[in-house]
Amino acid sequence: MDILSLFVIVPVLTVIALMFTKGQNNYRVVTAIGSGVQLIMAFNLLYQFLAIREAGNTDTMVFMQDYMWFKSMNIHYAIGVDGISVLMIMLTSIIVLAGTFISWKVDDLAKEFFIFLIILAAGVYGFFISIDLFTMFVFYEIAVIPMYLLIGLWGSGPREYSAMKLTLMLMGASALLLVAIFGLYFNSNVDGGALTFNIFEISQVNIPVEAQKLFFPLAFIGFAVIGALFPFHTWSPDGHASAPTAVSMLHAGVLMKLGGYGVFRIAMFLMPEGAHYWSEFFMILAVIGVAYGAIAAVSQTDLKYINAYSSVSHLGMVLLALLMMNEVAWRGAMLQSLSHGFITSLFFALIGIVYGRTHTRDIAKMGGLMTIMPIIGTLYVIAGMANLGLPGFSGFAAEMNIFVGAFQHPDMFHRIITIIAVSAIVTTAVYMLRLVGKIMMGPVMEEYKHLPAITWYEKAGTFVLVLFSMLIGIFPFFWSDIIDEAIKPFIQGILSV
């Protein structure tokens, strides 16, 4: 079995194992083992990947495999990875493991909960390894559907409403995406040859400019909805607010990354002229998302809403950077995806931990928690600092790449967009400090005096996320090298337009 397909097979095996497991404690142990194996596989993959690059392999994609799936339509199960997919897989495996630890105390239908969680992960892994549009789409849907059940069954608050809204909006986006995929498919033989879903074969074809102008926005919006593009971000606050902790972590940490990744891998790579034609329009939407997400976060009172809007702001930055269309900005976009993955899932984990103790997410009702739970408080401050882009954490390296990349366009339009984007660093500081100040600092509240301290599994889940955020923040050159080299073949089409 090849090294990549294992990423789909191991989750499936975990699910099967879970089905035959009995006993509340065993479910989580099985899940933890399964996600642990995935983590080891992810690092093994990273190691193998670096080794193969070291050995002088300069192919765009490595570990490629290709199996025919539907002959009549030329659909393949085609897989392969480059540096970016490897890093994304690593991110996923870490967050899945952290999420498992954070969900240690899920008692209600625990078996089903973990099964859906693992299915979701399988979909995400599949998405990151696919290089065939159709396979990719299938995995995308596999990742989105369990979300409905996870929120609808294990969520809180108006969970059915949120689950429905989230799923419907993402499904609507998938519909647009599917149209775009078929648009690409039926234009893939304009130079002769067979119709194909393989992105590298399509990239060799000169898709007519008119078709690109038509299908680029469909593909872009199709992916950007899951990347919380303004004004299609509204599923995010409600969805995150209702979702259980691990689901929020996976969703914000990994699933929302599919958006930026898809735009990078498909929309812009396959339709460079379309990208140029539409870039300014979408750039305006993205920058509105950046500024507006941050501003809206300032006056929220629910912990999860604050974080959801913060995600809108940070992921707006990813889309903005992609639309800036140069190597530095793209590297920033990828780093930001990774960085946001670690930081925001850390945040959601901490919110879950705090909520599990105080049973409220209203920041006005909390205060002085630092005194009662010093480690959680410290982690919260660290997460806040990381989120507002403190050097030493991943957010800083990512944002600086984005800003420098954005600054390479000397015209007035891009300058204004850049200035608005940079100003978000101030707004982010405002809402992060307001949050930390309100709930962690201030006088100790009587009713919270006896809250329990952090447990070992919560520590395990959060420390690993902090660690990786710092690894990116302190050694950005290591990650940028991997990313740079993966971006090059993808940006050439864009740069040559």
Binding-site ranges for another protein (CB under 8 A):
164-165, 168-169, 230-235, 237-238, 292, 295-296, 298-300, 328, 368, 370-371, 374, 381, 385, 388-392, 396-397, 400-401, 403-405, 407-408, 410, 418-419, 422-423, 425-426, 429-430, 433-434, 437, 440-444, 476-477, 480
Q: How far is the CB of 454 from another protein (least distance, A)?
A: 12
The DSSP letter of residue 267 is I
Query: Any residues with CB less than 8 A from the CB of 496 and at least 6 apart, and which?
Result: 272
CB of 172 to another protein, least distance (A): 8
Q: In angstroms, rounded to a whole number, what is the distance separating the alpha carbons of residues 377 and 393?
A: 18
What are the DSSP calls for 359-403, one per residue? S--BGGG---HHHH-HHHHHHHHHHHHHHTT-TTSHHHHHHHHHH
Cβ distance to another protein smaller for residue 63 or 230: 230
Shortest separation between residue 224's beta carbon and another protein, angstroms: 14
Q: How far is the CB of 388 from another protein (least distance, A)?
A: 8
Of residues 7 and 403, the one with the C-beta less far from another protein = 403
Nearest distance, CB of residue 122 and another protein, angstroms: 29
The C-alpha atoms of residue 285 and residue 318 are separated, in whole angstroms, by 12
- Nearer to another protein by Cβ, of 50 and 425: the residue is 425
- For another protein, the closer of residues 91 and 386 by Cβ is 386
The length of the chain, given as a count of residues: 497
CA terminus-to-terminus distance, the chain = 40
Instruction: Mention every residue, 6+ apart, whose C-beta is less than 8 A from residue 458.
Output: 101, 102, 104, 349, 353, 376
User: 81 phi and psi, to 5 degrees?
Assistant: -135, 150
Choose between 337 and 480: whose C-beta lies nearer to another protein. 480
Cβ 81 vs Cβ 63: under 8 Å: yes
Residue whose CB is less far from another protein, 360 or 423: 423
Q: What is the smallest separation between the CB atom of 103 and another protein, expressed in angstroms?
A: 27
DSSP state string for 191-207:
TSS----BHHHHHTS--
CA distance 305 to 43: 33
DSSP bridge pairs for 362: 302
Task: Give me the amino acid identity at 325.
Answer: M
Residue 256 C-beta: closest distance to another protein, Å: 17
Minimum separation from the CB atom of position 72 to another protein (A): 34
CB of 207 or CB of 334, closer to another protein: 334
Q: Which residue has 């955020």 as its token pair?
A: 469
**Tokens linked to 371:** 């005194």
Least distance between another protein and beta carbon 195 (Å) = 33
| Pick 87 or 440: Cβ nearer another protein | 440
C-alpha triplet 85, 89, 90: angle, nearest 5°: 120
Residue 26 or 408 with smaller CB distance to another protein: 408
* Per-residue tokens: 253: 């940490």
The nearer residue to another protein, 88 or 173, going by C-beta atoms, is 173
Where are the strands (E) in 26-148, listed by range? 62-70, 75-81
CB 298 within 8 A of CB 430: yes
Minimum separation from the CB atom of position 121 to another protein (A)? 28
For residue 381, the minimal CB distance to another protein (Å) is 8
Q: Classify residue 130 by its DSSP letter.
A: B
Per the listing, tokens 């940490």 go with 253
The whole-angstrom separation of Cα 97 and Cα 455 is: 16
How near is the Cβ of 164 to another protein at its closest, in Å? Answer: 8
DSSP secondary structure letters along 402-452: HHHHHTT--SHHHHHHHHHHHHHHHHHHHHHHHHHHHHTSSSPPGGGTT--
Is the Cβ of residue 34 or residue 395 nearer to another protein in the bound state? 395
Q: Would you say 8 or 166 has its CB closer to another protein?
A: 166
User: Sign (positive/negative) of CA torsion 241, 141, 490, 183?
Assistant: negative
